[in-house]
Amino acid sequence: DLRLLLVVRTLPWRALPGAIANPYYVYLSEVMLQQTTVPTVISYFNRFITKWPTIEAFSRATLDEILLEWQGLGYYSRAKNLKLAIEKIIKENRFPQSHEALIHYPGIGDYTSKAIASICFDQPVLPVDGNVIRVFARIFNISTPLPALKKEIIIKAEQVGAGKRPGDFAQALMDLGSLICKPKNPKCDECPLMSLCDGYKNKTYQSLPVRLEKINKPMRYGTAYVIQNHGQIIIEKRSDKGLLANLWGVPTSGWNLFLKDEKKIGNAQDKERVKHVFTHFTLYLDIHYIKIFPCEVVKLKSNQKFVTLDEIQNYALPTLMKKIVQKLDL
């Protein structure tokens, strides 16, 4: 039984042996762990629970406050959904306990709902993430390529079952995937499942899971405007919809599929370029520096303000905008 061979490591959001897991901690950490590594998440998680020790405290935080702390984690819609879901939980005065209930909350999908339900409420379900897919593909020597493989693994996970301690099983599998059964050079000699592993026996584990060739990401292009006036620049809050919603940054043009010959605005000069890789495309922004002359009157839009480089630290900036700000020397 592979469930008996696994052990769980200690992490700040995990309950000590015999203790009950805090659903707020588990939920917060699982959302942060989507697309982000454990070492990075630990420092963010500790900052969050210091600032908002309880789910009630978190529910009182504004979106701007949350985004400010979330800076650098990326995928900012996660923070917005976290706030919406926690507000709903507080309104209902009860933390939902089953995967079937949790999946109806903003931003909570199949994986996160199963993780919370199994870890906090012992529901016998197994969350299937990239680590579990890799471990299962190797143990059962499954050569179906991704993404079709995921469905197969979910069925396999249901057949294996989560046992009497579903939370421990889920967390132990996640740990095995991230510490031992790594994508490259898995440490099979240290693996508690070596004797059960068909991929190891058949020497196929290095090539599992099978991935089809990656298609190059499309590229997009645009212009960022650094508009300066006496040691200050204009920043603006982005709309509450779409990529980087509600975050702050310098004004930009639209992001186009083709490189347009942007008309120079005002006395724009000193072109530089910033590259940023998003999940579905790579963005190149040319930076145009614009100096406002003393005689010019600037009419700011309602979502814009002038700030110094020191003051900018008080606003939630996505990594793309930080790359631009780092180039500034006002």
Interface residues with ligand SF4 (CB under 6 A) are: 135, 138-139, 180-181, 186, 188, 191, 193-194, 197, 199-200, 205
CB of 196 to ligand SF4, least distance (A): 8
End-to-end CA distance of the chain: 63
CB of 6 to ligand SF4, least distance (A): 11
Q: Which of 30, 56, 213, 262 is catalytic?
A: 30
Judged by beta carbon, residue 202 or residue 267, the one nearer ligand SF4 is 202
SS3 51: helix
Q: Take residue 235 and report the two structure tokens written for it.
A: 């920043």
Q: Which is nearer to ligand SF4, 53 or 183 (CB)?
A: 183
* 23-33 and 110-121 helices, crossing angle to 10°: 150
Q: Residue 223 and residue 314: Cα distance in Å, rounded?
A: 24
For residue 172, which of 138, 213, 140, 131 has the smallest C-alpha distance?
Answer: 131
Which tokens hold the place of 50? Answer: 């210091």
* Geometric angle at alpha carbon 128, from 144 and 111, rounded to 5°: 135
Q: Which is nearer to ligand SF4, 117 or 197 (CB)?
A: 197
Q: Which is nearer to ligand SF4, 7 or 265 (CB)?
A: 7
CA distances from 87 to 13, 36, 71, 119, 144 (A): 21, 24, 21, 22, 41
Residues in Cβ contact with 64 at an 8 Å cutoff, skipping those fewer than 6 apart: 246, 316
Minimal distance, residue 207 CB to ligand SF4, in Å? 11
Closest distance to ligand SF4 from the beta carbon of 208 (Å): 8
How many angstroms separate the CA atoms of 85 and 30, rounded? 14
Active site residue 65: no
Looking at the DSSP bridge assignments, the partners of residue 286 are: 223, 273
CB of 150 to ligand SF4, least distance (A): 18
**Smaller CB separation from ligand SF4, 181 or 234:** 181
Whether 225 and 292 have beta carbons less than 8 Å apart is answered as no
Which residues are designated catalytic?
Answer: 30
